[in-house]
Amino acid sequence: MEKQLVLSDGEYSIYRHEGIPESAMKFLDSIAWGNEGAVYEHKNTEEHIRHLHHPILMAIYHGERMQGTAVFCKTPVSVGIHTFPCYYIRYFAASEEIKGKGVMKNYSIKVMEAIRANENLKTIFFACVEKGNYGSYKVVSSAGYERIGVMKTNGFSRFFPKISASVEQIKLPDDRAAMLDLLRQQYREHALVQFNSLFLHDNYFVIREKGEVVAGCQMHRVHWVVNSMAGLMGKLIINVVPYIPLLNGLFNPSRFEFLAFEGIFVKPGYENRLAELFESLLAKEKLKSGMFWLGESCPIRDQILKNISTGLLHAFVKDSDAYIMASFHDLSREEIHDLTARPLFASAFDYT
């Protein structure tokens, strides 16, 4: 895969890749994510990367060695009734060799400018930065991004999940189209809405009552290794929970496997069926833990948390907030205000 030189100052160079080369996959697979907060490793990086939506890799090189990355996934997003081109930034990473040397901070602005240079339309740029990751927050802020909202991590777990005979897999084109219509209606007041990862591997499931969908979600299977967690409670969870029967089935830091739920649909009053759906999918995959992400002001999140028992995992992860950092090209002040006033949508695929 060819790379295009964007900038060189003698010591470091920035190259643009259309797509993700093998060398970048190896680099990203070696990264431990997080900083002052939780530190964890993704263990299905390569498989995940192959399903990114129109990725553009901007990589920092020292000689021939890749030292830093930022992947810009280009996709249209909805903000109410309006649609804008958007770049969602993923895999913002630095090697151990350049951490703390100011390289990422200095070059991040150049990277952002290089991406912006090709855009003539109104465009949204945004990234997700974990609340405890002060280093990344400073770097992204220095590139002109501002905080527009908070994304909440939500856990769902069952010690002994059971399969429900009511759960149905969505495969047919007409059923998919109907499901998309329901989701567009449910998230019509949200910002940053996109459904690129829905129906991946035919893993969208629903529960119907009298032929009507009352609960639905996409699931992604995820494998992390969690090296550390913030605070005294985090240390306790890391060092003690793995040795406690039952609890270590919910969370084993050396092999944390869980389901990530997204594209969540629930008809008001049927929250118990959503819990039934989540539980059934855990049982199907022989897992005990799941997570989903929704904006802090999202009414659907409130609806879910007020009406179902999330299980013990939620207590472990509920404070793992992330900031949504955004920058805008050519949007009016009114358009930016409209976006920031709305609850934010999240794709679980983009958080795992």
Phi and psi at residue 118, to the nearest 5°? -95, 5
* Dist CA 76 CA 256 (whole Å): 32
Q: What confidence score (pLDDT) does residue 233 get? A: 66
Helices (H), 170-270: 173-186, 231-240, 247-250
Within this chain, do residues 210 and 305 fall inside the same structural domain, yes or no? yes
CATH code for position 207: 3.40.630
Q: What confidence score (pLDDT) does residue 79 get? A: 98
Residue 158 domain boundaries: 154-317
Residue 350 is assigned to a structural domain of this protein: no
Which range has highest mean pLDDT (87-101, 212-226, 244-258)?
A: 212-226
Within this chain, do residues 299 and 332 fall inside the same structural domain, yes or no? no
Whole-model pTM? 0.92
Paired residues of 15 in beta bridges: 5, 59
Count how many domains the chain has. 2
Q: What percent of the chain has pLDDT over 90?
A: 60
Within this chain, do residues 132 and 8 fall inside the same structural domain, yes or no? yes
Check pLDDT > 90 for residue 226: no
pLDDT band at 34 (very low <50, low <70, confident <90, very high): low
Residue 310 is assigned to a structural domain of this protein: yes
Q: Please, what is the average pLDDT of the chain? A: 90
Residue 89 is assigned to a structural domain of this protein: yes
Q: What confidence score (pLDDT) does residue 278 get? A: 98
Within this chain, do residues 255 and 270 fall inside the same structural domain, yes or no? yes
Q: What is the pLDDT of residues 247-280, one digit of tens each?
A: 888 888 888 899 999 999 999 999 999 999 999 9
339: which 2 tokens? 């976006």
Query: Average of pLDDT values for 301-328?
Result: 92
Q: What is the pLDDT of residues 102-146, one digit of tens each?
A: 888 788 888 888 888 888 899 999 999 988 778 788 888 888 899
Residue 349 is assigned to a structural domain of this protein: no
304: which 2 tokens? 């879910």
Q: By C-alpha distance, which of 283, 267, 294 is closest to 157?
A: 283
DSSP for 14-72 reads: EEEEEB--HHHHHHHHTPPB-SSS-EEEES-HHHHHTT-SSEEEEEEEETTEEEEEEEE
Within this chain, do residues 136 and 100 fall inside the same structural domain, yes or no? yes
The alpha carbons of the chain give a radius of gyration, in whole angstroms, of 20
Q: What confidence score (pLDDT) does residue 352 get? A: 81
Q: What confidence score (pLDDT) does residue 1 get? A: 62
Query: Average of pLDDT values for 283-302?
Result: 96
Within this chain, do residues 258 and 133 fall inside the same structural domain, yes or no? no
Contact 225, 40 (CB under 8 A): yes
Within this chain, do residues 56 and 89 fall inside the same structural domain, yes or no? yes
Paired residues of 205 in beta bridges: 169, 217
CATH code for position 69: 3.40.630.30
